Amino acid sequence: MKRLLAFFAVGALLVPSLSFASTCVERNEACSLGELMDISAKAQTLGVSQQEHIAILLEIITNLRRIITNFKASSQVSDCVDLAHDLRPGTSDAKTDGEVSELQYFLTRERVYSDLITGFYGPQTARAVYEWQKEQAIPDVSETTGVGKITRQKIRHTTCASLDA
């Protein structure tokens, strides 16, 4: 990575059009999506190794996932969340018809979940579910109880109330 930073710093001195080098790289800050796209597009021309290019592309993917998560979370559309499956730590979208991702989107909108939408009910999802359950005063819950009938009903009531009226 140091070689990559040095390469871009030298490139910025030699080629003025490489403005990304004088911003994110020289300041040792995270690059914006646009800067990463610029670096990726110029990678072959600049002689960046395949491994370094892959690292850049992975960073782009991470940024895109964050953008998608934030976009879905800030959506003005109020989606009705009507979960049919009990969800527990270790379950995934494959076994729940996509309901783990739906739960993660809901928790993001509720501002108790800020991780990536992965479709896997892992520790971060469990903590977020537990926090939401506590906020809603749902009794007898812990990080391992998951989303059962009472929590599913509360989520439905919270998100679908205007449709039920």
Specify the length of the chain in residues.
Answer: 165
pLDDT digits (tens, 9 = 90+) for 53-84: 888 888 888 777 777 776 666 554 457 999 99
Average pLDDT of the segment spanning 125-154: 96
How confident is the prediction for the chain on average, in pLDDT? 79
Q: What is the pTM of this model?
A: 0.55
Provide CB contacts within 8 A for 44, sequence distance 6+: 53
Which pLDDT score, from 0 to 100, does residue 42 have?
78
The CB density around residue 33, as the number of other CB atoms within 10 Å, is: 14
Residue 9 has pLDDT above 50, yes or no: no
Tokens encoding 63: 């940024």
Average pLDDT over residues 105-113: 94
